[in-house]
Amino acid sequence: MKSTWAIVASGLIAAASACPAARNTQTWSQLRENIKHVIYLTLENHSIDNIAGYWDFHPDIDNLRNIDYCNEYTNPNWTVWGEPLDICAGPYETEVPLADPDHNFAGVTYEIFRKWNITKQDVPNMGGFVECHRRTFVIKAYDQKKTALLAELAQNFAFFDAYFAEHPGPTNPNRQFATSGSTCSFVDNTDQAAGFFNNVTGTTCATSIFESPSKKKISWKNYYETDIVDAFNYKWVQDNAMDRLVHADEFYRDLEQGTLPTFSYINPECCTITSMHPTSPMVSGEQMVKHLYDALRRSKYWDNALLIINFDEHGGFADHVPTPMNVPQPEDKISFNGKSEGLQISYDFTRLGVRVPAFLISRFVPANTLIHHEGTSYAKISAYTHTSILHFLQELWELEGLNNRIQWAKTFEYVFSHTGRQNTPKTLKTPTWEGGSGQPEPDPFYLLNQDESYYASR
């Protein structure tokens, strides 16, 4: 059995030895012929180990099957003479987490390093999840039955097992990185525009994936389910493109009526029904993904479409793979000096977050493709992260103005075949509730009415 650190070391060596590669003009020209529409859905708050820890359909997935991954727990109320307990990863026993784990910047720092104050010399050990939360479920993983629809997508298309959230913190900074390559100095969910619920002036420090395509006359819409609207983070959008922020119902009308834009960016609701953010039931989120896939698959757009699905951040759930350090600071050079969860911190945005699931869905993607460290690197420490999506779109659409963090991120154009396949699923299996004997399927509308101040904790 391989140890955790043997696996980690081999991965880090592979990443460090990757040499910058030149762009393959022929590959990108072919992709521009094949991919005419991109649909991008970001779900909420789960790590790779939490979602895919026991997926077994590909022998090389870096997950929990062949390793022992534990966190020490030293709570004096539960340990003898200060001796730590080992709380280890294992299959998760229930459908809906009963609490929303901490995922603010300070808490995530502790999860990754098992200490609150760190320096550039500290090494991630992924050992602080259980002790930070004092809950064992954060290190547990769903079995494959409870994430069957996501596993079906991975088996039929492409799945990343070395893809990291961009920021070691919560939703809004990660979604800003995922749409522009910077957070404009935010480390937590504080004063970002974020959506209509927080009607403040958007940021201006970086060009977004909404502004840059507009300057190339590339059409786009930000479809949203409630009032979380990522494009609203940007002042340029607030000033120039409010008509392109539309309700998610319009996405399905555009599919049916043949009016889909080149770029469709989808915000699910947050945070209790379909986004998969705890305490959303997994089955509700998977049902939404099924509906989206099935509608796209039967539309006129399928033959030349790419559907990208990822998770914005890990949501406090444990992952055994150390997060990358010493990545390039965004060129705006904005840093953070202030408090997170009451702790005084300074941060320069040179670390990535925890691994999260990501999928590429297209008839040009071979079935059961595992994306590990393969791909095009633009620096010796290039990695897969949210800005990899932006870098791919930049090359696909020949965009301008996107920042250095995007230019640094690894791209995945090697995955696509030149000729599309016809044996893609026409519909995905219907997700089923796996709550156990005698347990009813949860009512998402009941959950919606439970006030957990969820906007503040996204």
Percent of the chain with pLDDT over 70: 88
Give the Cα-Cα-Cα angle 334, 337, 342 (nearest 5 degrees): 140
Q: Which CATH architecture has domain 20-448?
A: 3-Layer(aba) Sandwich (3.40)
What's the rounded mean pLDDT across residues 66-75?
A: 90
Q: Three-class SS of residue 52? A: helix
- The span from the CA of 439 to the CA of 268, in Å, is 27
* pLDDT for the residue numbered 24: 79
Q: DSSP characters for 178-230?
A: HHHS--TT--SSSS---BTTS--PPB-SS--TTHHHHHTT--EEEEESSSB-G
* pLDDT for the residue numbered 435: 52
* pLDDT for the residue numbered 280: 83
* pLDDT for the residue numbered 22: 60
What's the rounded mean pLDDT across residues 61-88?
A: 86
What's the rounded mean pLDDT across residues 17-45?
A: 85
| Paired strand residues for 346 | 337
* pLDDT for the residue numbered 3: 37
pLDDT, tens digit, 9 for 90 and up, residues 231-277 = 999 999 999 999 999 999 999 999 999 999 999 999 999 888 888 88
What's the rounded mean pLDDT across residues 168-177?
A: 96
* pLDDT for the residue numbered 133: 84
Residue 434 has pLDDT above 90, yes or no: no
* pLDDT for the residue numbered 355: 98
- In whole numbers, what is the pLDDT of the chain averaged over residues? 88
Percent of the chain with pLDDT over 90: 74
Tell which wins on pLDDT, 177 or 282: 177
What's the rounded mean pLDDT across residues 382-408?
A: 98
User: DSSP H helical segments within 300-372, as ranges?
Assistant: none
pLDDT, tens digit, 9 for 90 and up, residues 75-90 = 766 667 778 889 999 9
Angle between helices 148-156 and 282-297 (to 10 degrees): 40
Helix (H) or strand (E) holding 85: strand 85-88
| Contact by Cβ (8 Å): 244, 286 | no
Among 270, 294, 274, which residue's Cα sits nearest to residue 282? 274
Among the ranges given (155-169, 190-204, 438-452), the one the predictor scored with the smallest mean pLDDT: 438-452
Structure token pair of residue 206: 């970086």
What's the rounded mean pLDDT across residues 394-418?
A: 97
| Contact by Cβ (8 Å): 353, 108 | yes
* pLDDT for the residue numbered 432: 76
Structure token pair of residue 204: 């201006």
* pLDDT for the residue numbered 78: 65
Among 158, 155, 183, which residue's Cα sits nearest to residue 168? 183
pLDDT, tens digit, 9 for 90 and up, residues 316-350 = 999 999 999 999 999 999 999 999 999 999 999 99
Distances (CA, A) of 130 to 71, 73, 278, 380: 6, 7, 17, 33
Strand extents, DSSP E, 365-407: 369-371, 384-385
pLDDT, tens digit, 9 for 90 and up, residues 19-28 = 455 677 899 9
Among 354, 337, 355, which residue's Cα sits nearest to residue 346? 337
- The span from the CA of 75 to the CA of 455, in Å, is 30
pLDDT, tens digit, 9 for 90 and up, residues 90-124 = 998 677 677 788 899 999 999 999 999 898 889 99
- Dmax of the chain from CA atoms? 69
| Contact by Cβ (8 Å): 391, 406 | yes
Structure token pair of residue 236: 């340029």
- The span from the CA of 161 to the CA of 373, in Å, is 9
Tell which wins on pLDDT, 391 or 134: 391
Indicate the pairing of strand 263-267 with strand 37-43. Answer: parallel
| Contact by Cβ (8 Å): 69, 4 | yes
Helix (H) or strand (E) holding 158: strand 158-160
